Structure 1
């Protein structure tokens, strides 16, 4: 009986060896054809977003919660590479017959997600739509210097400018300066709920307060990109929910505050990527308000503001004091901390209030987005600090959609927010504060300031531009249509199953090279 049992065991072992050999898998977990098992991993990236999109129309919606979605769906003529050099996107190349003329040669065979080929007529339509008054585009002022747009052929288009413009190419890199399909706009009225572009991902669905789903554009003109098959953006307004989701692997990637990022520093399977942002936090003033129309009141509030406390408390110390041009823009930004209005001086603040007719202070409402903890925390700190000069502030927290409408319509006296300085000082100084700037929602107008930024826009000499923009920043601090607070570090928590993700100051959500392992 023992002998029979032994022979039976040998037969079982032999059969197992044969089955393993037939399976084609070796001991390293690789199949005989050399493919790794993990190459079969589903290429789906799950991202937790802190906010619901405010709409998907790139020509109409500036909210970052929307930009992060539509920037994956649409393409523009040019873009920044990883080193912030301007390179072609839909444009193969371009030339300048003279200082006021740009001719772009387009890639042939690029298709919209509806299958139609993109041609020069689409470029012309898109920029005329941006400039049309009825569109009310937030980037119309970027291209107000465009005199004419002419189609020279199916794959060639010419922009003629009214004057030399040092910002034209960099403005074309904006995530909203993209090419859209006329028939889609006409069918839907706008693009707020529909997104059909030429970009690396196709829009699949938007389930409100839940998720936005994108899928790979198999006909994307850049060979081998994107590497992901699908991207799912989950709306998780509560940071605790995002923190839990990244810990458990429910999502692969999410942005976090400095405080939450510190909780994950030693967490297995999670990497924290940080970078100095081009953003700054601000206090926006409706300068047509009865109280705030006097610049002395705005200056008094600046003198009562301790920006370092905001950096330390709101951003856990991971923020630098900023002006309208964030310090990460290098030589373009000025040393704001040496400015008189950046030093806390309560006595001087009270003097200015008295001169403005408010010796005992005043009552006012600070409006902020309830879904952004940093904005709420900033409002609460300012409420405490301004009380020292007799200003009694009430905080009003509103949902994101209402917040965007409030910003657009200047329907709050004081608004807490965050802006991006952009990649050229023209955005920070012209777009937001020129009297006709598309994002000047504050009612601010000063002819001397306008003249400065207009000159800066048309000046090609680099050192001369820097001198002009230095003067413009100093004047803006003096007039204080906004109080510029701090520029924070940005933090992204990434699961170790994600490869190829690198956030950049000018593009913190570049995912074309990302794969899952």
Structure 2
């Protein structure tokens, strides 16, 4: 306890020191109030690339061991159990210690062949993944997956941790896989159970000590492979048997490159190098070296944005991410020595509840929607949804919120030609009924509302998370735009904890804001009828049919790309959500962090897994005065 109190004091002192050290405290620019429009805006321009040039990767250098990597996160770590919180939330703290069966192939990224830039937050298919705890896999028929478990991998042993002593550093086996797959994918209370939906495995069995057989629903083999292989962090069964779950940090026992040594609430988390980690460096000057290179890693929990920016400028932290264009440009201007990269952020959606939980919503119509001959109610509801989009001044929002960096075309596939060449349809090539949704046409919006039976508009309410800084500005701007067509929306800001409970249980009855990954359109999180992420509660048989087609074509990337493109063109004009621009997310790192090229995720939510390949040039750091 005394040690934790000391750390808490040290953390507070560090925050104060960072504030003092910052030569010019960065202020977060507030969004300007949208100016009243007297006429319709011209069609939106094409997407804008970042105004500043990204850092060019330096030539490879011989890796060196040692040092502590210091990173930042802006929110507290609430628990360490994927049955309580989803894997995408926990990956930043679980990825250091607990491995998946498969992972993105580091050798195919910038460190190797550069086939993938690994800037996509959630991109996986058999061509870009390699075995991790599973050495390999096979598909003997269309409803079976065989995972061959890597021999000789042991659970990390920390003699100072009771849970670790309980596991005793034993070998990881197929029985561990079966326990974890069933615990996550067969429990209706878990987020992944809901997300996987029809792709949940029918059975998971260990046929011997190092072999796991997974039986899949017909047509979902690829999707089941992704969920079972890439989305579950493997935990020690005996720990749950004794302690009930893994919510406490002391119950974390893994097989990864690091061991969790300490956690101080709202202050920091610390990991140390796992001396028994199995992996060697697969590519580059360090090929064959035992991983990881760094001795330890520490997360500093710093909610205040200006303090985070000061920490980067003064070299107190080695890495931080999640900055928008305006804040990023301030960092680049005031700390030119810091390296940076940018990639497309996830799209954000204004969800419109469509399942008539609350009857009579103007945008809802009949449930389910039955194409191609919609009822009068469906036709009018579509007019309302299109009106809500047409009334949003997307070009102005792009400029005001994101300094013009990004794209007004934000759904369903964003302009990422690196990862989705041949799938994305540029804005100027979209049909008019799709293209206009990303422009600004308030007069047409008013006309559609009148045709739908709402000449005087209507009232609505929207829930949003106060923990997402962008949402306050977005909701204020859209409220202003909608007021011009007589739609009066009440804003309902909620804390992150309350918000998470509302969306996970789908207890909102009108509108809610939600961000989604832009890099997995085949999953159709936002539009597949049974997806927990489908916050508009879309129930469109055509969209579901596309989901099944993409699932069946999962391993045929070229065929799946054709289906994704067609699906995208169908989905956009339906306006199941209200769209607003997508922008770039910037990440920053110090020049002494080596073998890092701006990657943001090594596959499916693997943002910290890649740090086992990086190393610290401590001589360079010292020469720069740190």
Please say whether Structure 1 and Structure 2 have the same fold, judged by a TM-score greater than 0.5.
Answer: yes
Task: Work out whether 1:491 is the aligned partner of 2:586.
Answer: yes
Change (3 A) 1:286 1:102: same
Match of 1:440 in 2: 534
Instruction: Tell me how far 1:240 sits from its aligned partner.
Output: 1.0
Alpha-carbon RMSD = 2.7
Task: Work out whether 1:342 is the aligned partner of 2:438.
Answer: yes
- Rg (Cα) greater in structure: 1
- 1:79/1:87 contact within 8 Å kept: yes
Aligned-partner SS, 1:46: strand
Task: Work out whether 1:216 is the aligned partner of 2:216.
Answer: no
Match of 2:423 in 1: 332
Change (3 A) 1:171 1:138: closer
Change (3 A) 1:61 1:395: same
Task: Work out whether 1:513 is the aligned partner of 2:580.
Answer: no
Aligned-partner SS, 2:586: strand
Write the distance in 2 (CA, Å) between the matches of 1:143 and 1:222: 33
Change (3 A) 1:263 1:118: same
Q: Choose from 223, 228, 247 the match for 1:192.
A: 247
- 2:187/2:193 contact within 8 Å kept: no
Q: Which has the higher contact order (CA 8 A, sep 6+)?
A: 2
Change (3 A) 1:90 1:362: same
Match of 2:15 in 1: none
Write the distance in 2 (CA, Å) between the matches of 1:407 and 1:238: 26
Write the distance in 2 (CA, Å) between the matches of 1:200 and 1:404: 31
Write the distance in 2 (CA, Å) between the matches of 1:54 and 1:486: 31
Change (3 A) 1:155 1:293: same
Q: Within 5 Å, which residues of 2 pair with 1:101-140?
A: 101-113=144-156, 114=164, 115-138=169-192, 140=194
Write the distance in 1 (CA, Å) between the matches of 2:353 and 2:412: 17
Write the distance in 2 (CA, Å) between the matches of 1:276 and 1:436: 30
Instruction: Tell me how far 1:153 sits from its aligned partner.
Output: 0.9
Change (3 A) 1:416 1:238: farther
What does the per-residue CA deviation read over 1:319-342, in whole Å, with 9 as the maximum and x for residues that have no partner? 223212332242333345631433
Task: Work out whether 1:72 is the aligned partner of 2:96.
Answer: yes
Write the distance in 2 (CA, Å) between the matches of 1:441 and 1:183: 37
Match of 1:316 in 2: 403
Aligned-partner SS, 1:486: coil
Q: Choose from 350, 356, 372 the match for 1:283.
A: 350
- 2:174/2:208 contact within 8 Å kept: yes
Match of 1:372 in 2: 468
- 2:293/2:612 contact within 8 Å kept: yes
Write the distance in 2 (CA, Å) between the matches of 1:140 and 1:112: 29
Write the distance in 1 (CA, Å) between the matches of 2:575 and 2:292: 44
Name stretches of at least 5 consecutive residues in structure 1 with no aligned partner. 1-37
Aligned-partner SS, 2:99: coil
Match of 1:414 in 2: 511
Instruction: Tell me how far 1:272 sits from its aligned partner.
Output: 3.5
Match of 1:503 in 2: 598
Aligned-partner SS, 1:367: strand
Task: Work out whether 1:403 is the aligned partner of 2:524.
Answer: no
Match of 1:274 in 2: 341
Aligned-partner SS, 1:487: coil
Instruction: Tell me how far 1:285 sits from its aligned partner.
Output: 2.3
Q: Within 5 Å, which residues of 2 pair with 1:258-269?
A: 258-268=325-335
Change (3 A) 1:272 1:486: farther
Task: Work out whether 1:470 is the aligned partner of 2:565.
Answer: yes
Instruction: Tell me how far 1:154 sits from its aligned partner.
Output: 0.5
Write the distance in 2 (CA, Å) between the matches of 1:56 and 1:309: 41
More strand by proportion, 1 or 2?
Answer: 1
Task: Work out whether 1:306 is the aligned partner of 2:306.
Answer: no
User: How many residues are matched?
Assistant: 475
Name stretches of at least 5 consecutive residues in structure 2 with no aligned partner. 1-62, 109-115, 117-127, 157-163, 281-289, 366-380, 619-626
- 1:407/1:441 contact within 8 Å kept: yes
